[in-house]
Structure 1
Amino acid sequence: NNLVDATNFILFEMGQPTHVFDLDLIDGDTITIRRAQDEETFSPLGEDAKPVKLKASDLVIADAGRAIALAGVKGGSETAVGETTRDILIESATFDRLTVRNTSRRLGIASDSSYRFERGVHPAQVEPASHRLIHLILEIAGGTLHEGVVADGAELPEPTRIELRPQRCRDILGFDVSDERMLESLEILGFSPRMADSMIEAVAPAHRLDVNSEIDLIEEIARIQGYENLPINESLELAVVPTQPDLHAIESIRRTLVSAEFIETISHSLISERVADAFLEHGRDTLRVIDDRAGGEPILRPSLLPSLLEIARRNRDRAGLNIRAFEIGAVFDRLGEEHRERRMLGMVVDGDADADPTERYRLLRGALETLSHVLTGDSSSLTFCADEADDRTWLQPAARISLDGETVGHCGLLSSTASDLFDPSGAIAVAELEIEPIIAMFPPVPSPSPLPAFPSIDRDLSVIVPEETTWKMIDDAARTAGDQLLESVTYVTTWRNEKLGKDRKSVTLRLSFRDDARTLTHEEVDPQIKQISEELMRRTGAEIRS
């Protein structure tokens, strides 16, 4: 249709969308720009287009009884021009770019017009574009122009006036350009420049919404002079600066975990709604991306764990590999209208069905403790304690990770409900913690101490305790009973067997004793072992195996 061709020509020539309606198909003698009614039906142009339901946030062009166009997005099929069209109504306007974008994205209707309006159309272009369109239509389609124009809207904004310092322009470009040449270049581009004392004053054309400041004018002058004429320095001076502490800390995290045989992953931040809900903190909501390209994964991940678990599943299914993986990335959620974005460290340890789940957790916790020492040194350390709260349903059991009394993350074994989403072959150990509080303490302050002059005496102690007894309870009891000769208490292993009795386990700990002034004898350590054993029996109901 030559009328439609004329509107398309104006769009590409002047960047101003326009539209033509069949005047005989418009009801009444009034055109209204209004918000749509909820569930109002609109039939857009297009061979395969289907009617759509509008919302009150959509802006429409309407006649006396219906919406005849989606403002800035698409014309309506009910008032489209055709072979029988005799009289037309020409529309040229500008609309709020955000309103146009929201309607276009929500309905999945995109057009050259919506593309332009989303990026901005200056109101001063509306009238010249309509005059140019009328001239083309009269030239190629004939007809008679009716007298008068119906116009409405806000006052035209003041044109953008910009001042340019000629010497500043020469300094930026790096070569000499005369004031006259600058004026000539800007005149060619329609900026109406003039000299005012030692400054060049220019007015940005209405269609140049991208020109707002002095540096923009300098760029325009550079284009006219030719980028190929800009001088190129064969050498460049660089000032060497020390590595930023936070970047150094992130690199230390990577090196530490890779040395522990973890593989770093980089994954997409969008996941499915079903998976996101399974890893969402209690009381918070997910953030959704409104974009057709997101497909079945429109949710910004509230946790790194789903991404890591999906990577583990693919390695397990396609290569038969049980991997240890970690990722440093952003997670997102919201509380009401308040959006939250955090940088997190996520870790996953996968394994076979016959592997001991506690060994997987120990490996994970050991990596975290090493990481804590690398990042914070002896000044602070990560502590782990059972998390009795039920707000992280994807962990069972769960441990809270704290740094100087503040919770920074959680770790544990993945619950059966969460792990079933990723077809596991066995139990999976996972951890997730905020890294900002940890890297804020980097680099650690060294606290060197002299090597011991005398040997230590180590004793392994195996105790049978109830299943619910935690290592922290055993550690606290041993340290409380020991005197100043007790140097350290370390975990060795846990053994479970039906011979031990129902809901009981055997925990082995290593006790190290040392005197800084002399060599200890075993006879001096024996009373300490007895005292610690009695305290363990009193506090935890332990039975001493050996």
Structure 2
Amino acid sequence: MQISLKWINDYVNIENYFSKPQELADLLTNTGLEVEEVSDLGKRYASIVIGQILKLDKHPDADRLTVCQVETGSGSVQQIVCGAKNHKQGDKVMVALPGAVLPGDFAIKQSVIRGVESSGMLCSEKELGLSEESSGIMILPEDAPVGEKFSLYKGLDDILFELKVTPNRADCLSHFGLARELSNLLSLDLRYPENELQVEAGLSTKECISLEVKDAENCPRYAGRFIEGVKVAPSPAWLRTRVEAIGLNSINNVVDVTNYVMMEMGQPLHAFDQREIKGNSILVDKAQAGEKFTSLDGTEYTLDGSELVIRDQERPVALAGVVGGKNSGVQDDTTNLFIECAYFKPESVRKTSRKLGIETDSAYRFSRGVDPSGISFVLDRCCHLIQKLAGGKLYGDIHDFYPKGLEAKSFLVSSDYISQRLGMPVDDESFEKALAQLKLKPVKEGQSYRVTAPLYRVDIERKEDIVEEYARLHSYDAIPEKMPELALEPTPHEKDYELQRSLREFLVGQNFTEALNYNFENKLKASSFLGDLDKLKAYGITANPEPVQILNPLNEDFSVMRTSLLPGLMKNVEHNFRYGRHKGQLFEIGYAFGRDSKFGQDPRLAFAAWGETLDLWTKKEKAPLVLQLKESIESLLKELRAKSWSWKQEADAPDFLHPGRSAALFFEGKIIGFVGELHPRMKEALKTKEPIVFAELQLDALLRGQPKAFRVGGVSRMQMVERDLAFVCDGAVRSDSIIDLIKKSSGKLLKEVYVYDQFEGGSLKEGQKSLTFRMYFQDENETLEEKQLSALQEKIIQTVSSKLGVNVR
């Protein structure tokens, strides 16, 4: 929000800070009202002065140019080449001298134009940033003082603060509100703006416009006054300058006054054209479902009945607290006005504004809270200015619906409590003085004070807020620094946090990057990706077909809580492909959500990897990406010192996985997840041939019993023996089936077994393959003899052959 220091100075004397605005900005920032930028308009328009054309000649080498001799003050005459046609000798003009910088960073320099020296530029309103269009240079009145600075002449010798106001400080969303804050902080007198009225005797607002408030809960107070015979015209220079200086557009004298008072007092107002109020009746009530409303900018909205509206006898004429209607706004020929000044419930305005996507200065203030006790004063202030600038008769007997006055919050607080919370001494005298300075009306009750917060301080609700106010008033820097005494040892981290942190560190060490996705997802997209949830459940991952709905989602991409981590990782992969990153590997630790009899969340660990690295030096062919991810998961299992796991291929893989390149992880007695390659039809949608693989595991099952103790056993002195066995089998026989039978046949003597080689073709029949297994045997107490090994090998061969129908190669 932009704040003018000259405007602030109307209410509290801060002239001393005009030469040191940064000091005032630092004061506000240190008390919780951050000043993001300080703009000195006088410096912005430096080297731009009023000049008078003494002589005007044609350019000797250009028919469309003129050479002007321009006096710029103190007898100084500048020669300036000009291309405009609307000036003549004797005109007063705005002159940008060399060194001036016009809006848009256009620097004025000493130059030569078609062989003639030019020491500046005669400026138009557009070039000075005063209007969007102009037909020629700016011609000033005859009484304009030659040599006077442009900023001083136009009232732009001001300093603007760009203020960042936190949502709880609605009382500072105006110039008077900020002046009141500075009055408290600097102990300065506060001056109220003029609002004297000349009300016509015997004229009644209530006889001209009737009022009925049906929804008093959302509109606790509504006031209005009728004005007859106004003349709508352009605003005077002082008003136009002020509203434009803070970023508003000047419309006309009536609309500018309502905007001016809003920025002055923080209370939005609205001016209705009385001709357009059908039946001369105002009704404050909820909208009718399905009815249309067209705002001032011409946008049409369909209302659903939850919005609070201002309506006449036929249609809505305004969305309460948000925006006025095109059908009742002030026009150039408007003569009679009804001025509205009301207090609408912040929640009502905020919901309407967000639902319809309408952001206005009015909604911004109403949704944070305005001062209901100041309605009458603000209405009078607005009517005073309208009468002063547009004329008209002010009617008395105004509407002021306020059946149940809003009560100010009151509570007890002591200086000892403030002292305890701030860690600094606070005596009753300084505390009472601070409370009075903040207009909190302290009344002594025993050892405490009864504090009553004014209605404009919507942020003061409890005694903790008084602690903050006292600290702000006395500067946060005054609070002494003291390290707290640590009488107890620090609380250890939660076990799950420690385990997950170790997990993250290990996976990052394996060259994975952690992904952090929202817990929300698009229901249709997630359902389309996951497919048949029964197939997914067979692979150890449960996803509820009816995910948890979000009651008020931001958009459809955040409509439900996620039931799996994979749709989010798939989105990450698509994003990487879109921006040219064709290789990577991610992991995510997070929750999947569901609901049966009650809401629940399951911790999950998921992976995504895509693309292959081409080894240009050795041309060595690497294992398929799905096997690389499988190996990474096995490395994690070994890091967790897991002993019992295996991979199993179920009959039906999840729909999004390649049916022949996926497997479920059988871990400590049950399936807890899977690894697999993305189905080819889903890769086609990405228009890529790069491999894409995923995995998702139940994290609680994976970490159950962790951390496992590291047990060190003695090193056997007996020699380990290596044996290889090759089996010829049908192509459908899985290697893990053979490994299971080898383990069962070998007992404790078998230390390790794995697939050493796979061969197809040659002398083998079509559809057959040869699998070679390498086995390591060792007895802890004695050396294994050849006879014992031969018997064990024969047992393995017989078991595998009889169970699976395979032959030794």
- What TM-score bracket applies, with the shorter chain setting the length? 0.7 to 0.9
Cα-to-partner distance string for 1:160-211 (whole Å, 9 max, x where unaligned): 2232231121233333232121122122222211221111221222222222
**Structure 2: how far apart are the matches of 1:508 and 1:518?**
28
**Structure 1: how far apart are the matches of 2:698 and 2:266?**
48
Q: Determine if the alignment matches structure 1 residue 429 to structure 2 residue 693.
A: yes
Residue from 34, 40, 45 that aligns with 2:291 = 40
**Structure 2: how far apart are the matches of 1:251 and 1:531?**
46
**CA 1:290/1:457 → structure 2, altered by over 3 Å: closer, same or farther?**
same
Q: Determine if the alignment matches structure 1 residue 478 to structure 2 residue 729.
A: no
Match of 1:115 in 2: 364
Could you say which structure has the higher helix fraction?
1
Which one is further off, 464-473 or 118-127? 118-127
Contact 2:612 2:625 in 1 (8 A): no
Match of 1:444 in 2: 708
Q: Determine if the alignment matches structure 1 residue 393 to structure 2 residue 656.
A: yes
Q: CA offset at residue 22 of structure 1? A: 1.8
Mapping 1:198-209, distance limit 5 Å: 198-209=447-458
Letter in 1 for 2:626: Y
Count of paired positions:
532
Match of 1:174 in 2: 423
Which one is further off, 490-499 or 180-189? 490-499
Letter in 2 for 1:217: I
**CA 1:311/1:130 → structure 2, altered by over 3 Å: closer, same or farther?**
same
Contact 1:27 1:64 in 2 (8 A): yes
Q: CA offset at residue 285 of structure 1? A: 5.3
**CA 1:67/1:259 → structure 2, altered by over 3 Å: closer, same or farther?**
same
In the superposition, the TM-score normalised over structure 2's length comes to 0.58
Cα-to-partner distance string for 1:3-44 (whole Å, 9 max, x where unaligned): 333433444444443322222212234434444445432211
**CA 1:99/1:280 → structure 2, altered by over 3 Å: closer, same or farther?**
farther
Match of 1:345 in 2: 605
Residue from 466, 484, 500 that aligns with 1:250 = 500
Q: CA offset at residue 231 of structure 1? A: 2.1
Match of 2:636 in 1: 371
Match of 1:310 in 2: 574
**Structure 2: how far apart are the matches of 1:127 and 1:387?**
77
Q: Determine if the alignment matches structure 1 residue 361 to structure 2 residue 622.
A: no
**Structure 2: how far apart are the matches of 1:169 and 1:490?**
71
Q: CA offset at residue 219 of structure 1? A: 1.0
**Structure 2: how far apart are the matches of 1:149 and 1:229?**
49
Q: CA offset at residue 145 of structure 1? A: 2.8
Which secondary structure does the structure 2 equivalent of 1:79 belong to?
A: coil
Which one is further off, 239-248 or 429-438? 239-248
Which secondary structure does the structure 2 equivalent of 1:89 belong to?
A: strand
**Structure 2: how far apart are the matches of 1:75 and 1:314?**
44
Match of 1:322 in 2: 583
Match of 1:463 in 2: 727
**Structure 2: how far apart are the matches of 1:357 and 1:117?**
65
Question: Where does the alignment leave 5 or more consecutive residues of structure 2 unmatched?
Answer: 1-251, 534-544, 615-619
Q: CA offset at residue 305 of structure 1? A: 1.8
Q: Determine if the alignment matches structure 1 residue 231 to structure 2 residue 492.
A: no
Cα-to-partner distance string for 1:56-94 (whole Å, 9 max, x where unaligned): 444433222222222332221111122222333333444
Letter in 2 for 1:145: Y
Match of 2:678 in 1: 414
Match of 1:218 in 2: 467
Which one is further off, 407-416 or 143-152? 143-152
Residue from 500, 506, 509 that aligns with 1:259 = 509
Which secondary structure does the structure 2 equivalent of 1:519 belong to?
A: coil
**Structure 1: how far apart are the matches of 2:398 and 2:795?**
105
In the superposition, the TM-score normalised over structure 1's length comes to 0.82
**Structure 2: how far apart are the matches of 1:336 and 1:134?**
61
**Structure 2: how far apart are the matches of 1:61 and 1:501?**
87
CA RMSD of aligned residues (A): 3.9
Letter in 2 for 1:262: F
**Structure 1: how far apart are the matches of 2:703 and 2:624?**
28
**Structure 2: how far apart are the matches of 1:229 and 1:401?**
61
Cα-to-partner distance string for 1:334-361 (whole Å, 9 max, x where unaligned): 7799987765433223234999897322
**Structure 2: how far apart are the matches of 1:124 and 1:383?**
74
Contact 2:593 2:599 in 1 (8 A): yes
**CA 1:484/1:407 → structure 2, altered by over 3 Å: closer, same or farther?**
closer
Match of 1:25 in 2: 276
Mapping 1:59-78, distance limit 5 Å: 59-78=308-327
Which secondary structure does the structure 2 equivalent of 1:368 belong to?
A: helix
Letter in 1 for 2:656: T
Which secondary structure does the structure 1 equivalent of 2:459 belong to?
A: coil
Question: Where does the alignment leave 5 or more consecutive residues of structure 1 unmatched?
Answer: none
**CA 1:517/1:322 → structure 2, altered by over 3 Å: closer, same or farther?**
same
Letter in 1 for 2:611: G
Q: Looking at CA atoms only, which structure, 1 or 2, has the larger radius of gyration?
A: 2
